[in-house]
Structure 1
Amino acid sequence: MKGPKLWIGAGVVGLYVLAAILAPWIAPHDPLAQDVVAALQGPSAAHLLGTDELGRDQLSRILMAARIDLPVAALATLLPCLLGTALGVICGYFGGWFDAIVMRISDLLQAFPMYILMIVLVFSLGPGVRSLLISFTAVGWVVYARLVRAEVLRIRQTEYVTAAITAGFGAPRVIVRHVLPNTLRQTLIYLTSDLVFAVTALAAFSFLGFGIQQPTPEWGSMIAAAQPYITTQALLTVVPGLVITVLALGFALLGDALQERKRA
């Protein structure tokens, strides 16, 4: 029986996805429209979460930011997953010099703190989505490659894989039909945990000025812009922070639920 963690996590993530899809229709105002006269207003009937320092509607910006943060976080997780899975399968199944080179490169990358290495890459490439995706991919593939490689080494010794090889099936067919499907569950479990990191890291980079740039609505940059007003208009920082926290919690619950089902 599916536990509450799975339903709660899926419900939270589903609500965020639905909000992102419907944002252009349910956002009460244009998220980029400025009204300096109405700047830094508290919650009201016209602006349910108030307005920011330029008079922009806070609720509209939070809703529209979901259309930025969710796809970028998903790509920032999916791209290293695909690269790492491909490298892990090749290394685990074929071994040899290619395996040795890839593993030494992964050792080198893991010797550096992840955040520091990503900041260096983003700083070198310049702020923006492209730089973020490159940095996430360049650093994040390592864990997937090692995880998949370990699973492939184990699965390659099983009887059904040995039988397929003995029957004369080529390596591509054995990998696609017998090896890869049996590595996906563990990869999926880590993927949900990695989404938590992607969501928080994206917000952190935008907060520091290396990520999505203003005036584009983005939760991390919204918190950064609202810092000077934290004592007078706390909602400008608290609400985007809660939005990020709840989304990360939803992905974390999904990961825990999948891990529990794997153990069962």
Structure 2
Amino acid sequence: MKKVVLSLMFSLLPGIAFAEDINAEVISVEPVQIEEINTEQKGFEVMQEMDKRDMGWGDMSTSMQMVLKNKNGDEHVRNLKMTTLEMQDDGDKSLSIFDSPRDIKGTAFLSFTHALDADEQWLYLPALKRVKRISSSNKSGPFLGSEFAFEDLTSFELKKYKYNYLREEVVDGIDSFVIETYPQYKHSGYTRNIVWVDKERYIPIKIDYYDRKDALLKTQTFNDYQQYLDQYWRANNSYMENHLTGKSTTLVWENYTFRNGLTERNFDKNTLKRSR
């Protein structure tokens, strides 16, 4: 019955229109063109803009507190200093030296980030009085018992990932792009990451990390950003939560300084042994 009624209605429409205006002109309606988004290109462009806005700061020094918390809420606090050198046409170099507690004092971590080549990382252990090179196949391992992996402690390099734009979304009150990134380097512990990027400042707000089984492993959030040199944004707080173990690590930064005159000589392997 419904089909008959609908057919009758549509059969009457031409007559109704004709009765209203016998001289009415036929209006041709062009079909609406829906522009397709190249999600790979848009994802790349968002991350490219984020990378571009954070170029030119030279070198940086900061103090950091690392707070390790287990699933029962017990905390262990470590203090360290970190220096970073921005490199042209390559990844950044960074050096982290632990000041306390006593059992880890003098431990130093040196990292040379590269785009597609394997990152170079070394760890100086004062108890053993030797420098240990971190194997490329071990980059997914935890950094000194924290919820950060060794690969999490390298600088962001645009060529290290492929990208996919997912959507726009408000997170923590901030209007953001949501970009999926796929590691292109060997031995990554992640199949993909999802990054929320502030649409106004082009800085990361949150990152979800998916393990090799494509299950959500960790979430990192960045808080309390401040701007330096009228251009560069740095978070004062970063929180990494492991969804599988219930453990977390909080990094608290302070005393940022830039353009301190550091050179590559401040970031060689001999610097590790002198760090104590």
Q: Which has the higher strand share?
A: 2
Say which structure, 1 or 2, has more relative contact order (CA 8 Å, 6+ apart). 1
The TM-score with structure 1 as length reference comes to 0.21
Larger radius of gyration: 2
The TM-score with structure 2 as length reference comes to 0.21
Q: Which has the higher helix share?
A: 1
